[in-house]
Structure 1
Amino acid sequence: MMAVDGQGRLEKTAVVALKDVSLSYNSNKDDNALEHIDLTLTEGEFVCLLGPSGCGKSTLLKIIAGFISPTAGTAVMDGEPINGADWHRGVVFQQPPLYPWLNVMENVMFGLKMRNIPVHESRRLAEEYIDKVGLREFRHCKPYELSGGMKQRVAIARSLVNKPRVLLMDEPFGALDALTREQMQILVRNIWWDSKCTILFITHDVDEALSLGTRVIVMSKRPGRILRELKTEFTYKISGDNSNRTRYSDQFLELREEVLNLINRQELTYQV
């Protein structure tokens, strides 16, 4: 959906909006994980979130997911307060929490079953998304029969089968080897292009953030604040044959250096 501003320009619709959000883990508010976060996720964008360890990236994702509530400020989706988890906001974790007693098809269908979607429709949707992640021949396998990358594909299909407005991904490829990680990046980019889903993607990998995101957000050390927001377009330019050419372009390397310097300055303050 699009809106038109006062000057007749098209504006993307805000899906999630955080206003002056803070979160403290005790009543005295002297152990803040986040402070004064203003963040809007608009329709169809791919936002990558970077920052030093412990800066509150996962906490921010949990607030948007509805797993926890902010101590101060507001978190809304489509103008309504976020109160608890909701299938409109799918979540993919670093370690996919698959049910070991269910096979791939049953794991992907599980959320649809909880929503009382008819079995025939659930099966049709599950097959569609299992195909999208390239696991058709493994649909009857149990999780212990799958590699790490394949398990993550199942987790992505299980989230996407509900057709969420927002997909929240918390370092989903952090435990994968380099080759599998690159394959998963291509998969997620293609799914995003096809689905037009809004994605918030947490990563420690600057190259990954710049290669995937349409916007990269850099957070400060704890308590986490937003230090910098960078618009990027590399994900539109990257395809099989030109991916390395894009990653080694002057523009990519300059932006990579800028982001690394921001993060490294934050990391160094821990040692002072």
Structure 2
Amino acid sequence: MSIAEKKAAEEKATKDNPEVIISVENVSLAYSAGNSSNVLEDIGLKLHQGEFVCLLGPSGCGKSTLLKIIAGLIPPTKGNAAMDGEVIKGPDWHRGVVFQQPPLYSWLSTRENVRFGLKMRKIPKQEGLKLADEYLHKVGLLEYAAHKPYELSGGMKQRVAIARALVNSPRVLLMDEPFGALDALTREEMVMLLRNIWRETGCTILFITHDVDEALSLGTRVLVMSRNPGQIIREFKTSFTWEFSGENPSRTRYSQNFVEMREKILDLIHKQKLYSTSSLE
């Protein structure tokens, strides 16, 4: 076998069997030791290199809790989450996190907010400033590098938060409803920006949202969780994100395949809400 043939075979094998970066095994969580009711129960999940996984489910099903466990912010009651085979025991810059309300430091400029993580990692100042400007350029905010957070709109603040997470070149980006507080137009712009950044960087993304259309237009996989306790009950493999990158994305949104999958997901979530309501009666 020639070198070129061997390389092609290796690339095909990688594509067909992508590397597992995050592995969640039998994870359960109760907020107190004496609480017999779990927030999460027996969660199993694998995130592969380069995936964009969207997590959906009714409010209170534990989506954010699962993300925090993967981020290393809270430990599970049972089971474990691991990265590259090593149990996650705390936060790590290899796992960037973006929340709905970007926790920017009001006394720092946009540039210094983006550079903050690099500074904590002792990256030389000039290298850090160069990287900060590079990622501000990626999110379209380089001209606002000297501005303070209070001078930015909500969408701009979220761009800064994304740049701050990405500047460390994390292998995994964890996003907890990052566009939930934005208006519809800004939200659509952020969706397009995130899609482009994902394709450019090849970063693995776990994205929590309540918006089914948003999940289908971004994800390569969409996972639906149940309520009380939170479990992953259905997985949908999708390819709409590539179609949304084409010349006529609105055609994809109204295609038969998109509409049918959207209705299936909405029906699943609606049934979870009905079940939760009836259980209280």
Flag whether TM exceeds 0.5 (same fold).
yes
Which residues of structure 1 form unaligned runs of 5+? none
**Which residue of 2 is the match for residue 238 of structure 1?**
244
The 1-side partners of 2:246 and 2:157 are apart by 24
**Which residue of 1 is the match for residue 102 of structure 2?**
96
The 2-side partners of 1:141 and 1:9 are apart by 42
Q: Is the 8 A contact 2:228 2:276 kept in 1?
A: no
**Which residue of 1 is the match for residue 268 of structure 2?**
262
The 2-side partners of 1:154 and 1:148 are apart by 10
The 2-side partners of 1:243 and 1:93 are apart by 27
Residue 189 (structure 1) aligned to one of 190, 195, 201: 195
Cα deviations across residues 52-102 of structure 1 (Å, max 9, x unaligned)? 000000000000000001111121000001010000000000000000000
**Which residue of 2 is the match for residue 58 of structure 1?**
64
TM-score normalised by structure 2 residue count:
0.93
TM-score normalised by structure 1 residue count:
0.96
- The alpha-carbon deviation at position 241 of structure 1 amounts to 3.3
Residue 178 (structure 1) aligned to one of 184, 189, 194: 184
Q: Which secondary structure does the structure 2 equivalent of 1:101 belong to?
A: coil
- The alpha-carbon deviation at position 270 of structure 1 amounts to 2.2
**Which residue of 2 is the match for residue 38 of structure 1?**
44
- The alpha-carbon deviation at position 123 of structure 1 amounts to 0.7
Greater helix content: 2
Once the two structures are superposed, the pairs formed by residues 1-272 of structure 1 within 5 Å of their partners are 10-239=16-245, 241-272=247-278
Q: How many residues align?
A: 269
The 1-side partners of 2:274 and 2:231 are apart by 17
The 2-side partners of 1:16 and 1:195 are apart by 18
The 1-side partners of 2:258 and 2:173 are apart by 26
Change (3 A) 1:51 1:16: same
- The alpha-carbon deviation at position 29 of structure 1 amounts to 4.1
Cα deviations across residues 89-116 of structure 1 (Å, max 9, x unaligned)? 0000000000000010000000000000
The 2-side partners of 1:148 and 1:214 are apart by 27
**Percent of aligned pairs with the same residue?**
66
Indicate the RMSD between aligned Cα atoms, in angstroms: 1.6
Which residues of structure 2 form unaligned runs of 5+? 1-8
